[in-house]
């Protein structure tokens, strides 16, 4: 695997999957921007905000099974890595005001990351997380569809 695929694999497996802040610090640029439903009001701006959002998410939805990388590949110019992964996480604590359900939810996501100077500078998330989206719809829909 390429250095960029290894970098993104650590970011996804350890930072997103486990909430390991050190992995975030080692893989993300300080000024990283991310487009994700975990911040419905707009892009995540910077490492500190990303760490706070992921910490809150992982606390509310800890891993029920280890995250599985399905398909990573690198763009021809070497600046982007696209990775599809699946994880199953249990809704154990309130999130966006939705009380815990105890449900194990499948997250099936594709992340398009842009790498520069050995760090991830951009992460765009595309997801098929229907159960999560329906669970969160009462609070997220008004934030998104205002």
DSSP, collapsed to helix, strand or coil, labels residue 118 as coil
pLDDT at 128: 86
Report the CATH fold assignment for 3-144: Nuclear Transport Factor 2; Chain: A, (3.10.450)
Residue of 46, 144, 36, 137 whose CA lies nearest to 96:
137
Domain spans of the chain? Answer: 3-144
Q: What tens digit of pLDDT does each residue of 95-116 get?
A: 999 999 999 999 999 999 999 9
- The stretch 62-66 carries a mean pLDDT of 95
Contact by Cβ (8 Å): 131, 90: no
Tokens of 61: 């939805």
Q: Express each pLDDT in 9-43 by its tens digit.
A: 999 999 999 999 999 999 999 999 999 989 988 99
Per-residue confidence band for 140, with pLDDT thresholds at 50, 70 and 90: confident
Q: What is the pLDDT of residue 27?
A: 98
């Amino acid at each position: 695997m390429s250095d960029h695929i290894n970098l993104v694999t650590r970011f996804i497996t350890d930072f997103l999957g486990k909430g390991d802040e050190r992995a975030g610090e080692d893989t993300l640029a300080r000024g990283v921007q991310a487009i994700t439903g975990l911040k419905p009001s707009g892009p995540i701006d910077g490492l500190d905000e990303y760490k706070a959002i992921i910490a809150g998410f992982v606390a509310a939805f800890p891993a029920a099974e280890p995250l599985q990388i399905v398909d990573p590949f690198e763009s021809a110019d070497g600046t982007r890595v696209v990775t599809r992964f699946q994880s199953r996480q249990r809704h154990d604590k309130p999130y966006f005001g939705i009380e815990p359900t105890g449900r194990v939810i499948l997250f099936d996501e594709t992340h398009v990351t842009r790498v520069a100077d050995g760090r991830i500078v951009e992460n765009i998330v595309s997801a098929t997380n229907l159960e999560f989206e329906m669970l969160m719809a009462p609070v997220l829909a008004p934030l998104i569809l205002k």
